[in-house]
Amino acid sequence: MDVYEIIAWCKEKNVALENAVVLSNVPLDITDTVIYRVLDTVKGTGKTKVHGRCSDKTGREQFVLVETSKRVSEISFPVFIGIPDEIGPWSTQVLSATSPSSGSSKVQKCQTASPVEAQNYRKLLTFSGLTPTPNGEEDYEVWAEHTTHILEEWQCSDNMKKQGLVECLRGPAADIVRFVKVENPSATSCDYLKALDTAFDPTENASDLMVKFRNTFQEKGEKLSVYIIKLDKLLHSVLRKGGLKSSELNRLRIEQIIRGALPDDMVALRFLNHLLSLNF
């Protein structure tokens, strides 16, 4: 929904623009009660009221117009809201007034999420740090490896990555990231992961892991694919601990495959010949 449609909708429903939020991607069968539950997850909204619904162009989802008792500029509405693994995510659109130049009339701008950000939002696994590991969660090593991969793939701002991390965390893990955020408001998603590593990862430091990586060789009878996965796990552990840059991953992986693959593995030999043909 574009800014002009939102302005017209707010005027029709007598909702002040500075108190208006439009929810997108909302299923048609969602009740007001469920919408209020989701809105309650956003801190500082004050009282909220659903003023209207409107089907989107697909006819399968709808927009919902919500009024907040506080100005949305004071709330810092996230670009997505929902209850992880239960409801959403729904995109949010809020209007803010800006003055492009002196003497000009104010123009309303709309905050919304890009299609890429919306597609990426759903992918992170839940993690709490509780022991024993709760049903439906993975242990830290599996969660961290999966999360690192996903964050590398996301083509979005670091703020979106941080939001995705915060929303997938529960319990002690959420408390740790909340503390980091309070202590350092400019902390990055990498800073969040490093803090979680310090608290929950019992494995060696980055230097020790790199030594382990350099001394990992393909075992007799081990498939090349299994060997590469083993190397990847070690590399991403080093990456999480700040021992290398993501741009170095491919080079280090290939170097170790050349060093560590069995000389009589035909698949490895073909793979290595291909690398050599590329003048690696």
Question: pLDDT (tens digit, 9 = 90+) per residue, 165-205?
Answer: 888 888 899 888 988 888 888 899 888 988 888 888 766 77
> Residue 115's pLDDT is what?
52
Higher pLDDT: 150 or 278? It is: 150
Token duo for residue 160 = 């979106």
Render pLDDT for 228-247 as a digit per residue (tens, 0 to 9): 888 888 888 788 777 888 78
The whole-number pLDDT of residue 106 equals: 63
Q: What is the pLDDT of residue 96?
A: 59
Segment 100-147, tens digit of pLDDT: 333 334 655 566 555 555 555 556 788 998 888 888 888 888 888 788
Domains in the chain, ordered, with CATH? 3-113 (3.30.70), 123-200 (no CATH), 206-277 (no CATH)
- Residue range 42-87, pLDDT digits in tens: 888 889 999 999 888 777 889 999 999 988 878 777 778 888 778 8
Q: Looking at residue 49, what is its pLDDT?
A: 94
What mean pLDDT is reported for the chain? 80
Q: What is the pLDDT of residue 48?
A: 92
Q: What percent of the chain has pLDDT over 70?
A: 84
Nearest alpha-carbon partner for 64 in 97, 31, 108: 31
| Residue 57 neighbours by CB under 8 Å, 6+ apart | none
Confidence at residue 214, expressed as pLDDT on a 0 to 100 scale: 93
Q: Which residue has the higher pLDDT, 266 or 34?
A: 34
Determine the Cα–Cα distance for residues 97 and 218; give it in Å rounded to an integer.
61
Is the pLDDT at 160 greater than 60? The verdict is: yes
pLDDT at 102: 35
Residue type, 24: S
Share of the chain above pLDDT 90, in %: 12
Asked if 90 contacts 80 with a C-beta cutoff of 8 angstroms, the reply is yes
Quick one: angle between helices 140-153 and 189-200, nearest 10?
A: 170
Gap between the Cα atoms of 157 and 163, Å rounded: 10
> What pLDDT is attached to residue 34?
93
Q: Can you give the pLDDT at residue 123? A: 62
